[in-house]
């Protein structure tokens, strides 16, 4: 049977039927429903001639041996957030399964082809994203901290993993899985509004944004709301409010997809009868270029100091987390562009705001690229997440073309 993109759509609907409910997808990693999804995938690929294996981090691999040990990897994640959408993650697992079946039908491939269903991309239960891919990439370094994590019911992460045959301390033993990897391809829904606004079905992802996350604390003086004249106040919330408006201008001036967000502000004492003494702001800044991201951070710091000076308050910065931008492989970006133009006429290059398993694989030094397919209304992590069926089918075709071109390149 040749490639059947409509089968991918039917598979995704079947998976949703099996593992979702009226509130959306319920395939949270390290749960029975997730296990059921993995079993279902196993059944879907039975007879394709691929050998299945679960590695030390719980990643599920299907390996189609070829003429060489060098491997083309196709990856996605079947786990979802609670009340998730029907496409996030599992689109590439099922599109990858379709491509794997097509390649198997054509006879033994010149290189080995492997489909990987990464374990716990979402981190929905324990707040740790990219679990399986970071273990395989060798970048997981937070085992001590992970050992203490508990879910909402008080179950510890190591106990939950053990129920699925994974020992936290041995997760890094998944590292050899990437040893022979020569290229990694991942298709994903965009989860944003860019492709839809351009009326394009597909785009090539240039890389994932670098992220700078800081706690910015403004400190003023608590004072009675009734007896303190307006010109005598040292109001920390004024600092937070001005910074929030300023970071929007910084992102606009920076351009190139720059985004800055203050996602939360906690004020103390936080009562209606007092001027705000401290305002703690959670700031998140993202850009695809490391230098630009650093400049954007510098601008925000300078702005906060000027604001603090003007309001007669103090400001302090504390880094919460950061990650460098991760750029995908130039040659694979070209092949992906070509593949999209062949199936859809027009392609578009765009960065990814969210992190993906592909970022971990790229960080491990493996040539990587992602394809995005249009998301309707830019919605994801909700049951309202959707993509037109004809676009889903085009995305399977584009992934198949890209896989074929990559294999040809690897065997040159
Ligand atoms: Zn995803």
Backbone angles phi and psi of 217, in degrees to 5: -110, 120
The encoded tokens of residue 302 equal 């300078």
pLDDT score of 116: 98
**Most distant pair of Cα atoms in the chain: their distance:** 84
Cβ-count burial 5-37 (b if 16+ within 10 Å, e if not): bebbbebbeebbeebbeeebbbbbbbbebbeeb
Yes or no: say if 101 and 48 are a contact pair by the CB < 8 Å rule.
yes
**Is the pLDDT score of 412 beyond 90?**
no
Distance of CA 345 to the CA centre of its chain: 27
Dist. CA 122 → ligand 1 center (Å): 7
What per-residue confidence (pLDDT) applies to 342? Answer: 98
| Tokens read off for 362 | 């790229």
pLDDT tier for residue 227 given thresholds of 50, 70 and 90: very high
For CA atoms 95, 96, 99, 101, give the dihedral sign.
negative
- What tens digit of pLDDT does each residue of 10-64 get? 999 999 999 999 999 999 999 999 999 999 999 999 999 999 999 999 999 999 9
Residues around ion ligand 1, judged by CB within 5 A, are 88-89
pLDDT, tens digit, 9 for 90 and up, residues 53-93? 999 999 999 999 999 999 999 999 999 999 999 999 999 99
From CA 343, how far away is CA 254, in angstroms rounded? Answer: 34
Q: What is the pLDDT of residue 48?
A: 93
pLDDT tens track for 262-288: 999 999 999 999 999 999 999 999 999
Average pLDDT of the residues of the chain: 96
Span from the CA of 190 to the centroid of ligand 1 (angstroms): 9
Q: How far is the CA of 12 from the centre of ligand 1 (A)?
A: 14
- CA–CA distances in Å: residue 231 to residues 155, 156, 289, 359: 53, 52, 42, 50
How much distance in Å is there from the Cα of 176 to the middle of ligand 1? 24
Ligand 1 centroid–CA 159 distance in Å is 25
Q: What is the 85 CA–ligand 1 centroid distance (Å)?
A: 10
Q: To which residue do tokens 């199936």 refer? A: 343
Query: What percent of the chain has pLDDT above 90?
Result: 95
Write out pLDDT tens, residues 184-223.
999 999 999 999 999 999 999 999 999 999 999 999 999 9
Q: What is the pLDDT of residue 354?
A: 87
Distance CA 368, CA 332 (A): 7
pTM of the model: 0.89
Per-residue tokens: 77: 């994640």
Q: How many CA atoms lie within 13 A of 306 on its CB side?
A: 9
Tell me what percent of the chain is helix, strand and coil, each rounded to the nearest 5.
Answer: 40, 25, 35
Cβ distance 3 to 59 under 8 Å? no
Task: Say whether pLDDT at 355 is over 90.
Answer: no
Centre of ligand 1 from the C-alpha of residue 120, in Å: 10
* Gap from CA of 163 to ligand 1 centroid (Å): 24
If you measure from the C-alpha of residue 89 to the centroid of ligand 1, how many angstroms do you get, rounded to a whole number?
4
pLDDT digit string, tens, across residues 139-188 = 999 999 999 999 999 999 999 999 999 999 999 999 999 999 999 999 99
Summarize pLDDT for 117-141 with one digit per residue, the tens: 999 999 999 988 999 999 999 999 9
């Amino acid at each position: 049977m040749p490639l059947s993109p409509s089968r991918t759509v039917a598979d995704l609907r079947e998976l949703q039927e099996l593992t979702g409910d009226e509130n959306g997808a319920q395939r949270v990693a390290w749960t029975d429903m997730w296990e059921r999804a993995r079993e279902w995938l196993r059944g879907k690929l039975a007879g394709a001639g691929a050998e299945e294996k679960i590695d030390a981090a719980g990643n599920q691999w299907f390996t189609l041996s070829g003429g060489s040990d060098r491997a083309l990897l196709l990856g996605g994640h079947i786990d979802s957030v609670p009340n998730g959408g029907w496409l996030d993650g599992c689109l590439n697992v099922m599109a990858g399964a379709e491509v794997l079946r097509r390649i198997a039908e054509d006879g033994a491939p010149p290189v080995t082809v492997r489909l990987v269903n990464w374990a716990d991309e979402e981190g929905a239960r324990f707040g740790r994203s990219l679990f399986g891919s970071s273990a395989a990439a060798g970048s997981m370094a937070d085992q001590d901290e992970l050992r203490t994590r508990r879910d909402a019911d008080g179950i510890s992460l190591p106990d939950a993993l053990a129920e699925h045959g994974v020992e936290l301390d041995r997760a890094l033993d998944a590292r050899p899985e990437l040893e022979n990897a020569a290229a990694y391809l991942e298709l994903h829904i965009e989860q944003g509004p860019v492709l839809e606004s351009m009326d394009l079905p597909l785009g090539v992802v240039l890389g994932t944004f670098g992220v700078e996350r800081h706690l910015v604390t403004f400190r003023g003086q608590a004072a009675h709301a009734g007896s303190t004249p307006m010109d005598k106040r040292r109001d920390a919330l004024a600092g937070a409010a001005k910074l929030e408006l300023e970071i929007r201008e910084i992102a606009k001036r920076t351009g190139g997809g720059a985004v800055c967000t203050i996602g939360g502000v906690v004020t103390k004492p936080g009562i209606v009868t007092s001027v705000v003494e401290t305002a703690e702001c959670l700031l998140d800044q993202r850009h695809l270029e490391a230098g630009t991201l650093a400049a954007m951070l510098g601008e925000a710091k300078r702005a906060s100091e000027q604001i603090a000076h003007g309001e007669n308050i103090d400001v302090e910065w504390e880094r919460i987390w950061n990650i460098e931008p991760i750029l995908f492989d130039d040659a694979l970006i070209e092949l992906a562009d070509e593949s999209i133009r062949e199936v859809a006429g027009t392609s578009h290059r765009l960065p990814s705001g969210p992190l993906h398993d592909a970022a971990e694989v790229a960080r491990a030094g493996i040539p990587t690229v992602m394809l995005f397919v249009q998301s309707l209304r830019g919605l994801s992590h909700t049951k309202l997440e959707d993509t037109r069926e004809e676009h889903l089918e085009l995305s399977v075709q584009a992934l198949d073309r890209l896989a074929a071109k990559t294999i040809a390149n690897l065997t040159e």
